[in-house]
Chains A and B, each alone.
Chain A
Amino acid sequence: MPVGDAFTPDQLHDIERAVRHAEEASGLHFSVYVGGADSETRPFAVELLNELDDPDHTVLVYVDPAGRRLEIVTGAEAKRQLSDTAAGLAALTMQTSFATGDLTGGLVTGVQQLGTNAHQAPLLHANEPHKQ
């Protein structure tokens, strides 16, 4: 591991795997950014979301380890699947791990939780004609 990297290759692999699983479970895009903010964290996180290819269907997790701030930003369509309450619960989970210095564990658990909460319920009987 080069000196100064935030995560080891194994840790990165774990986070990427959690992101993949969350995307498969929810059908949304997930993105994780760990680093300092140029400005206030919330506008900066929204700016990051807008740099992505499909921001409306994306959930961005922004972590500022120096400022000890966490932002979860959901796009317009993603917000319909992942409520602010569910995002808040995931933020609480991550916050607990981050406070003990476990960035990787917090991200993996939090992203998994976001993916599970954003899970789309299957449409039942949607293709069947209405019967009286």
Chain B
Amino acid sequence: MIAELSGHTVLVFVGIPVLVAAVLALLVFAGSIASGPRYRPGLSWWAPPVWINGPVATKPDPANLPELPAAPGTPATAGAGVARTTGGASASW
């Protein structure tokens, strides 16, 4: 009877609070577990580079291309794909 009573008591006064605490902890940390590590300025960066809207395809190696005769009257220009002058802005945090 005593053993039965103490088991029941342990279940009510220890088991249930532990279960409630575990559920609350899971709810609190579920978001960060799902979204993975968060960026924290000043700490090291862990992720590989991401390029959104980057180059469509890798450009062919010019050394492997067959040599074509230049069109007559074509003015000499800088190679396509090279920006002439650039503008913009910089910032740090």
Contacts and interface: CB of A to CB of B under 8 A. Distances in A.
A68 B91 CA distance: 8
- Interface residue SS majority, chain A: mixed
A17 to B, nearest CB: 11
A31 B52 contact: yes
Given A5-B47, A8-B36, A33-B50, A50 B83 contact: yes
Interface of A: 1, 3-8, 12, 15-16, 19, 29-36, 41-42, 46, 48-56, 58-59, 65-76, 78-79, 82-84, 87-88, 90-92, 94-95, 98-101, 103
- Interface residue SS majority, chain B: loop
Contacts, number: 153
Interface stretch (B5-13, B16-24, B38-46, B67-75): B38-46
Shortest 5 CB-CB distances between A and B: which pairs? A35-B49, A6-B47, A66-B45, A55-B83, A79-B87
Interface of B: 34-42, 44-56, 81-93
A34 B49 contact: yes
B91 to A, nearest CB: 4
B86 A46 contact: yes
